[in-house]
Structure 1
């Protein structure tokens, strides 16, 4: 244990098999993050696995159930650094039940087009989430290139 606070986030996609859109959430608090966009999720509680925490957080914050895909690796077992006290692990996820609503911590949800990199990057992201967004776009772009049929 590194002493870091474990946080989990969901890169909720319209489809794990053929992702085209990403669900993002706009923060209402704390004041310095209000109005900024992030991956929905939250802290891992004592006795939970990271995956259990992500399922719980997405249900509490958005009212949805998801199927988890692969983790978006950061190169560290702790995950993506958020600050000097916390790191976040992020999983790709797909809705299986529920209509996403901003129930806690957010005032707006939005589906954004992953094929429009500029639109995605132009959102005012929480600064710690921006490198994760860039890695997500790079990974999906690489997967699309690899999956493309040869001509």
Structure 2
């Protein structure tokens, strides 16, 4: 069985990061994550992330460099984060309970989806660089 890649987008605006609150599954509902989703067969990771953010948030993005480490999920799935730049639209939570722009000082205080916690140092560093 091939490895399933799941992509997540780190969308920065000035010194803030867009985070999304999960609606489902029940064990993750209410926790915060970087929005994204599964890469379909024949789709590039960047193409999948752009599609997922269009479907979930109603926005257009350009996908940039990888951020942080690969995170192993259960059953042969790997989670990867990429920087994303908003190129069109305004984010709306079509597939999430809520969206929120957070600063570096708010990162640690959020109840994160466990897998996304691996990226907190990288996100904090990126947000600190965005400030300057």
Length-normalised TM-score, structure 2: 0.90
Pairing 1:138–2:125 present: yes
Name 1:67's counterpart in structure 2.
62
Q: Does the CA contact (< 8 Å) of 2:68 and 2:119 recur in 1?
A: no
Dislocated runs of 4+, deviation >4 Å: none
Give the root-mean-square deviation of aligned CA atoms: 2.0
**Out of 18, 21, 26, which is 1:23 matched to?**
18
Distance in 2 of aligned mates of 1:11 and 1:98 = 16
* Greater fraction of residues in strand: 2
SS at match of 1:57: helix
Distance in 1 of aligned mates of 2:79 and 2:86 = 21
Length-normalised TM-score, structure 1: 0.79
SS at match of 2:107: helix
Structure 1 residue runs without a partner (length 5+)? none
SS at match of 1:11: strand
Name 2:73's counterpart in structure 1.
82
Q: Does the CA contact (< 8 Å) of 1:28 and 1:34 recur in 2?
A: yes
Pairing 1:108–2:98 present: yes
Tell me the matched-pair count.
132
